[in-house]
Amino acid sequence: MRMLDVAAGNIRVAIPSDASAIAEVYVETWRAAYAGILPDRTLVRMSVASQIRQWRSLLNAGDAVLVVTDGAEIVGFGGYGPNRERNLPYSGEVYTLYVSPDYQNQGLGRRLLRAMFKALQRDGHESAIIWVLAENPSRFFYECEGGAKIADRNEFLWGVSVRELGYGWSFLSLGAA
Ligand SMILES: CC(C)(COP(=O)(O)OP(=O)(O)OC[C@H]1O[C@@H](n2cnc3c(N)ncnc32)[C@H](O)[C@@H]1OP(=O)(O)O)[C@@H](O)C(=O)NCCC(=O)NCCS
């Protein structure tokens, strides 16, 4: 594990040239987090090259992403915006949150989540939802951060059917101290 002075871990808005570093963190963290949860073939098939293309196009399109850095290195990131599932009474959504395995459990995920909640509030969202795989232990992180389990759904993702849980924050102003 690489220890980082959490206060020094810097959070900033991502720019299109961050696409490759974000893709590297995404693939590395995704494979570590979902081993044993998603089929091996799904984990192996994921490629950094295709993720770079996807993140570059999202960032060029103006999608909101925050990154946390250790010096010049991106070690975590999160994406957010309007809730994509209109039938749930939550205005904002955190789409992604990934902290590189070497930097987990040092408070960076919490700082990124709170920074995204503040950014959502600035964009006019008072509530937010996050979807997480039911089998992913990171759901306990969302419970620690005050999220309430408010929904579940089955999604066909990455070639398999998976159960997801929705965690909701009704008042970001209370949860984003
Ligand atoms: C989930 C994730 C973003 C959390 O980030 P992190 O930097 O490791 O978490 P933090 O150090 O900020 O933890 C904040 C609190 O949550 C708790 N927590 C973190 N992960 C936890 C887990 N898996 N189970 C239980 N509690 C957890 C911590 O103990 C801490 O509480 P404490 O201060 O009372 O000790 C990160 O572990 C990660 O990227 N995981 C893999 C990818 C993933 O699953 N992302 C979510 C996809 S929706």
CATH code where residue 146 lies: 3.40.630.30
Q: Which domain holds residue 100?
A: 10-175
Q: Is residue 45 part of a domain?
A: yes
Q: How far is the CA of 139 from the centre of ligand 1 (A)?
A: 8
Note the helical H segments in 46-138: 48-60, 108-122
Q: Is residue 2 part of a domain?
A: no
Strand 92-99 versus strand 128-133 pairing type: parallel
Q: How far is the CA of 78 from the centre of ligand 1 (A)?
A: 13
pTM of the model: 0.93
Domain count along the chain: 1
**How confident is the prediction along the chain (177 residues), in pLDDT tens digits per residue?**
665 555 556 999 999 999 999 999 999 999 999 998 888 888 888 899 999 999 999 999 999 999 999 999 999 999 999 999 988 999 999 999 999 999 999 999 999 999 999 999 999 999 999 999 999 999 999 999 999 999 999 998 877 899 999 999 999 987 543
Please tell me what DSSP assigns to residue 65: E
Q: Is residue 5 part of a domain?
A: no
Two structure tokens written together for 13 = 């808005």
Q: Is residue 128 part of a domain?
A: yes
Q: Which of 138, 145, 149 best tests ligand 1's pocket when mutated (most atoms within 8 Å of CB)?
A: 138
Q: Is residue 116 part of a domain?
A: yes
| Long-range own/partner contacts, residues 82-88 (CB < 8 A, 24 or more apart) | 82/125, 83/128, 83/129, 85/129, 88/129, 88/150, 88/151, 88/166, 88/168
CA distance 153 to 161: 10
Q: Is residue 1 part of a domain?
A: no
Residue 33, ligand 1, Cβ within 6 A: yes
Q: Is residue 91 part of a domain?
A: yes
Q: Is residue 62 part of a domain?
A: yes
Q: CA 167, 142, 135 angle in degrees (round to 5)?
A: 80
